[in-house]
Chain A
Amino acid sequence: QVQLQESGPGLVKPSETLSLDCSVSGGSIGGSRYYWAWIRQPPGKGLEWIGSMYYGGSTFYNRSLESRLTISADASKNYFSLRLTSVTAADTAVYFCARHSYGDFAYVDSWGQGTLVTVSS
């Protein structure tokens, strides 16, 4: 049973960079037929897909965030990361790391517990 765990600062200043890591256990980022994804949820609101990465293959980003966003991975340490630059209060959200299948069946079958990131000075 794969487990995912987010880590990173809970408070980021406006215009700075939000950086989060997701540690994966019980499964391997490299060599598995899964995408590794980030999804966020502003307080009291719905879910927004941020982006998905297939290790050694394609990475897809939400077009509304693409210019500020980087998702990367370190297979040797079995974790993947989110980097979002020039943040504003609108980026305040619970950030979830997640896994979904490669190919046609891109439903999310595993989620991290989520971490709240607040953008405030």
Chain B
Amino acid sequence: DIQMTQSPSSLSASVGDRVTITCRASRGISNYLAWYQQKPGKAPKLLIYVASTLQSGVPSRFSGSGSGTDFTLTISSLQSEDFAIYYCQQYNNWPPLTFGGGTKVDIK
């Protein structure tokens, strides 16, 4: 199975900051990677798929990049509504679908 490792596991940032989250696959997954945002008590929300394609309705301050084993999610200017947990997920070689452990973004 492909393992997904996110870093950092948590970070503190201020509104307006640029934030970068990393996701690493245990072997190459081409660009078959998605990013999700989850707020407390809610279901995850799809942000990005195919590593860099923004889901409809997602603000353009979110962007994704990478291919192979290393991927990043960037929030160009953090807003108050962006404080949440972010997960990556690979779907190149499934089953199983596998998720990273999550990155919690909270207020500095």
Contact = CB atoms under 8 A, between A and B. Distances in A.
**A and B held together in a complex:** yes
Interface of A: 37, 46-49, 51-52, 60-63, 96, 100, 104-109, 111-114
A46 B87 CA distance: 8
Nearest to A4: B43
9 contacts: A46-B101, A49-B95, A100-B91, A105-B50, A106-B32, A106-B91, A106-B97, A107-B49, A108-B89
B44 A108 contact: yes
Given A52-B95, A60-B95, A107-B34, A46 B100 contact: yes
Chain B interface size range: 20 to 34
B97 A52 contact: yes
Contacts of A111: 43-45
Nearest to B101: A46
